[in-house]
Amino acid sequence: MSETVLHTVGLRRQFTLPRESLFRPPETVFALNGVDLSIQRGRSLGVVGESGCGKSTLARLCMALDTPTAGHVEVLGRDLSQLSAMELRQARAQFQMVFQDPYGSLDPRHTVRRIVGETLEALAPRQGDGTSGVSREEAIGQAIDAVGLRRNDLDKYPHEFSGGQRQRIAIARALVTRPSLIVADEPVSALDVSVQAQVLNLMQELQQDFGVTYMLISHDLGVVDYVCDEVAVMYLGRVVELAGRAQLFAKPCHPYTKALFDAVPRIGAGRRSGADRASTLQGSVSSQTRQITGCAFADRCPRAESRCLDEAPELRRIDDGHMASCHFA
Amino acid sequence: MALLSVDDLHVELQTNRGMVPAVRGVSFAVEAGGTLGVVGESGCGKSITALALMGLLPEGARVRGRIDLGGTDLLGLSEDEMCHVRGNRIAMIFQEPMTSLNPVHRIGRQIAEPLRLHRGLRGANARDEVLRLLDRVGLPDPAKRIDAYPHQMSGGQRQRVMIAMALSCEPDILLADEPTTALDVTIQGQILDLINELVDDSGMGLILISHDLGVIGETTDNVAVMYGGSMVEQGPTDSLFEHLAHPYSQGLFAAVPRVGERHDGPLHTIPGTVPELADLPPGCAFADRCAKASDVCWGPAPGMAEVGAAHHAACHHLGGAV
């Protein structure tokens, strides 16, 4: 039953910055520093972290939109870096992506039919092929039904839709090839609260109906808590804690995860007084252009000791299905 | 007498579909040292209300009503007179610290600008005052950072610079329009702490605009919920969040996924989408999305009615809603 849909092994990605001086070597951004994750079929993994933690780089690598500096990505057991361009193109039917900005990710000059159908066109060039005998039109129709739009919307253009409806179109486009894996990078952060709930509910329904596996990238812990089975917390290109949703939210082990939870403003908690303020995490994420020897979080961590500066903590097992990388966890 | 009182404010904006009502009869008051949160989704008129207070509405906009700041009606002032109020007695922090600072000037010079303009400080005096302000907003190593350009700072640091600038003339009212939306959660916490601390220390009034109910809850004593250009509910933050009276507030509140409060069913949703201001329905603006809507809702818009101590809501079906 449990089949691994996505598996990443020691994933690293470094970007070289433009040279700033003739006399110094160009600087390097260490965006991902060894990420090992896997997602079983029909499950969903949430990836949380602040900007610059490498979550979007991770998404791009998993979608083979970028190549890792080291390590590799396996989708359904196939190593994406070993595939030829043609094979990769066909394999893309198995993994699709939903982007953050529903205004920028849909071509304004194409009809919905063309936007949704383009995926089929590109991935399964022969008519009817790859959609198990159903005609292309029917596949597009089914995808548009599944996301709760009407079939006579197919001839409209993106500007005729609201933000939430556009995000539905983007999901239909990802769904039309019946992929095993959908990676959604901040799918609801551009939407209003009342509309956000509609899209989140839709994502859950689709998972039940089609058995899709999700990797959901979000900075919003509430969204991740609602949609995901497992959660990975990232900090400066590393996974610092990985656990089942209930476990993680009940008992966060890594000091960064705890700080992240404490920082989320709670409704009905009353106005923050001086005592509450003391718990706020100080400082900001340190530079990504430095190779860090010890724990990446040590400079902001309230518990840091000299050991944390010298020795990088391994991601180790704390409890059943609960991993954290902290010397004190 | 409240420090700032806004009475029946109407704003119409010029669009390519003619004049469109963006704010329709908004009234509220802020005491010295008081904090008011304004919540709502995009297009509900919350930012336009803020711009009206600052006298920064886009060209061609029409304003009616009264904005009373310490006995002066701001709407009656000329542009020259308004220049003495803006930045001096009312200051504003904008959402995007990236675009609201001038990229070609050092931050020290940008913070000194209101000091020169409103307080007549020059040279070393101005510089000392800028250093004091930067220190006050918790920017590390102000003596060094005063000569930095905005691009050399992080988002949180830039927002601190914006706050220093807003504070420079010790305003009576600080308007913050989504001050933390562009920031990461841990940085958001730091900025909210800073704003809370400044309000406690200086006794200025704060109007905080946000779509995030958590941010509002942790920062303000009073809250107003806006929808379709009007206020639909208003009251003390704690009691309002405890007893949401208006169906829109209830829907908005239930639609937010919250950490550690997962229910097994689907999230509550409000059907439909936020209306375009030009297409607002005649009666209650929320009627077409409201589960409780009946014939009476399509008639005249409901007025504010008291539902608790200092807690008001505008709905025809309050009896059944509470």
Mean pLDDT, residues A87-110:
90
Does residue B48 sit in the same domain as residue B133?
no
* Whether pLDDT at A283 is above 80: no
So what's the ipTM on this one?
A: 0.78
Residue B320 lies in a domain: no
> Can you give the pLDDT at residue A128?
47
Question: ∠ CA(B60), CA(B304), CA(B31), 5° rounding?
Answer: 75
Does residue B197 sit in the same domain as residue B161?
no
Domain boundary among B143, B170, B197: B170
Q: Which of A123-127, A236-240, B318-322 has the highest mean pLDDT?
A: A236-240
- CB contact (8 A) between residue B259 and residue A270: no
> Residue A41 gets which letter from DSSP?
T
Alpha-carbon gap, residue A104 to A267, rounded angstroms = 32
CB B236 within 8 A of CB B221: yes
- CB contact (8 A) between residue A266 and residue B218: yes
- CB contact (8 A) between residue B190 and residue A262: no
Confidence of residue A102 (pLDDT cuts 50, 70, 90): confident
**What are the CA-CA distances from residue B148 to residues A28, A226, B5, B115, B141 (Å)?**
23, 42, 39, 19, 11
Does residue B213 sit in the same domain as residue B182?
yes
List B residues 167-206 in contact with A (Cβ-Cβ < 8 A): 184-190, 192-193, 196-197
List A residues 38-57 in contact with B (Cβ-Cβ < 8 A): 50-51
Residue B318 lies in a domain: no
- Our CA-based measurement puts residue A221 at a distance from the nearest CA of chain B, in whole angstroms, of 6
* Whether pLDDT at A55 is above 80: yes
Which segment of A104-108, A180-184, B63-67, B184-188 scores lowest on mean pLDDT?
A: B184-188
Residue B151 lies in a domain: yes
Domain boundary among B152, B170, B188: B170
Confidence of residue A269 (pLDDT cuts 50, 70, 90): low
The rounded radius of gyration (Å) of the Cα atoms in chain B is 21
The pairing of strands B205-210 and B35-39 is: parallel
Residue B8 lies in a domain: yes
Mean pLDDT, residues A313-317:
88
Does residue B72 sit in the same domain as residue B122?
no
Mean pLDDT, residues A224-250:
91
B231: left (phi over 0), alpha (psi -120 to 50) or beta: beta
> Can you give the pLDDT at residue A278?
61
**What are the CA-CA distances from residue B64 to residues A130, B42, B49, B92 (Å)?**
62, 22, 12, 22
Domain boundary among B170, B195, B222: B170
Alpha-carbon gap, residue A82 to A74, rounded angstroms = 10
Option in B184, B237, B258 nearest A222 (CB): B258
For chain A, say whether B259 makes contact (Cβ under 8 Å): yes
Does residue B188 sit in the same domain as residue B253?
yes
> Can you give the pLDDT at residue A321?
84
Residue of A nearest to B155 (CA): A284
Residue B200 lies in a domain: yes
Does residue B79 sit in the same domain as residue B183?
yes
Alpha-carbon gap, residue B204 to B3, rounded angstroms = 9
Residue of B nearest to A287 (CA): B154
Does residue B56 sit in the same domain as residue B187?
yes
Does residue B286 sit in the same domain as residue B143?
no
Alpha-carbon gap, residue A12 to B34, rounded angstroms = 50
Does residue B12 sit in the same domain as residue B80?
yes
- CB contact (8 A) between residue A193 and residue B211: yes
What are φ and ψ of residue B237, in 5° steps?
-55, -50
> Can you give the pLDDT at residue A276?
63
CATH value at residue B277: 3.40.50.300
Q: Residue A65 is encoded by which pair of tokens?
A: 């939109």
For chain A, say whether B219 makes contact (Cβ under 8 Å): yes
Q: Which domain holds residue B165?
A: 99-170
For chain B, say whether A266 makes contact (Cβ under 8 Å): yes
Average pLDDT of chain A, as a whole number:
86
Residue B319 lies in a domain: no
Option in A205, A222, A269 nearest B257 (CB): A222
For chain B, say whether A286 makes contact (Cβ under 8 Å): no
> In B, which residues are within 8 Å of A263 by CB distance?
185-186, 188-189
- CB contact (8 A) between residue A201 and residue B266: yes
Residue B94 lies in a domain: no
Residue of A nearest to B236 (CA): A270
Does residue B210 sit in the same domain as residue B293?
yes
Does residue B73 sit in the same domain as residue B106?
no
* Nearest Cα to Cα of residue A198 among A235, A163, A172, A250: A163
Q: Into how many domains does chain B fold? A: 2
Option in A50, A205, A223 nearest B257 (CB): A223
- CB contact (8 A) between residue B218 and residue A222: no
Residue B321 lies in a domain: no
For chain A, say whether B68 makes contact (Cβ under 8 Å): no
Mean pLDDT, residues A300-328:
87
The rounded radius of gyration (Å) of the Cα atoms in chain A is 21
In the block, residue with structure tokens 């904090």: B35
* pLDDT, tens digit only, all 322 positions of chain B: 689 999 999 999 998 888 889 999 999 999 988 999 999 888 888 889 999 999 999 888 999 999 999 889 999 999 999 999 998 899 999 887 778 899 999 999 999 999 998 889 888 999 999 999 998 888 888 898 899 999 888 888 899 999 999 989 889 999 999 888 878 888 888 888 889 888 888 889 999 999 888 899 889 999 999 998 999 999 999 999 989 999 999 998 888 887 766 666 788 888 887 777 777 777 888 988 888 888 888 888 898 999 988 999 999 988 654 4
Does residue B111 sit in the same domain as residue B54?
no
> Can you give the pLDDT at residue B321?
43
Give the helix ranges, DSSP H, for A147-299.
163-175, 193-210, 221-227, 245-250, 255-263, 274-277
B50-72 as b/e: b if 16+ CB within 10 A:
bbbbbbebeeebebebebbbeee
